[in-house]
Amino acid sequence: MGHVDICRIGPVGVVALHGDCDGASAAAADRDLLAIEATDPEVVVLDLAHACIGPAVLWLACSAQERAVQAGRQLIVSASSDARRPFELAGLDGRFYWVEDVLSVVAGQALIDFERRLASVRHLRLVDPGRRDATLGRSTIPAPGDPGERARRWLRTREAGEMEHVVARLRRRQATVEPVLGDEEQRDLRRRLATAERLVADAARRERGRAHAY
């Protein structure tokens, strides 16, 4: 009998399966997924790197994907090429967005979170410095376009080295915005950037470790 680990890291919810997964444990894992989804994450990662893939896991992944589509949320499945094989045999692999490293997803999403917040406060200050809500987390003026789209492209490449360059560019952009921000807004941006920097550094170390292993 396997077990399930769940966690929420910034805007990412992670559900990791370990070992064998029968009908009962798949139902329990689905309840864990529902609990994570109830926290309204932007991305849910189903980590199958340490799971034995069988019919129950296929059902679990398909159920989670259906709910993600209905909610407008992205579901990412983390698994090796070998673990993907049962999905391919069942003709299901095309339904999912696949990665091999959960940490790169979390790091990339942290960059998206920081860039959105940076674009939000910058746009708000340039348009009307007085209009911001009390939660500090949301602009009352919609920013033009989607400031997270570039970060999503970097996330899709899943290259931690490229994300390190992204962090450097965002740090420079932050420095140009901070002089017009209040103390609380500055602390909020610095906290988000520090989180992104830590996660990207961890992902880069893991990526380099894999490169040295080959």
Q: For 16-51, what is each residue's pLDDT tens digit?
A: 888 888 888 888 889 999 999 998 888 888 989 888
Distance separating alpha carbons of residues 17 and 23, to the nearest angstrom = 13
pLDDT at residue 1 in the model:
55
List of residues 6+ apart from 1 with CB closer than 8 A: 19, 20, 22, 25
Q: What is the mean pLDDT of residues 62-90?
A: 89
Q: What's the average model confidence in pLDDT over 125-152?
A: 39
- 127 pLDDT more than 70: no
Domain range for 199 is 103-213
Instruction: Output Rg (C-alpha) for the chain, integer angstroms.
Output: 19
Same domain for 134 and 148, yes or no, is yes
Residues 119 and 200 in one domain: yes
CATH assignment of the domain containing 8: 3.30.750.24
Cβ–Cβ contacts within 10 Å for residue 67, how many?
A: 16
**Of 44, 103, 39, which is closest to residue 76 (Cα–Cα)?**
44
Chosen domain end from 50, 80, 100: 100
Higher pLDDT, 63 or 110: 63
- Domain boundary, last residue among 74, 100, 126: 100
The answer on 126 and 80 residing in a single domain is no
Neighbours of 60 (CB within 10 A): 25
* Alpha-carbon span 61 to 33, nearest angstrom: 10
Which whole-number Å values give the CA distances from 68 to 19, 52, 62, 120, 156, in the listed order?
24, 23, 10, 26, 18
Domain termination site, one of 35, 65, 100: 100
pLDDT band at 133 (very low <50, low <70, confident <90, very high): very low
pLDDT digits (tens, 9 = 90+) for 145-190: 443 444 445 455 455 567 777 778 778 878 887 877 788 888 888 8
- Verify that 96 and 190 share a domain, yes or no: no
Instruction: Give the count of domains, the chain.
Output: 2
- β-bridge pairing 97-99 and 74-78: parallel
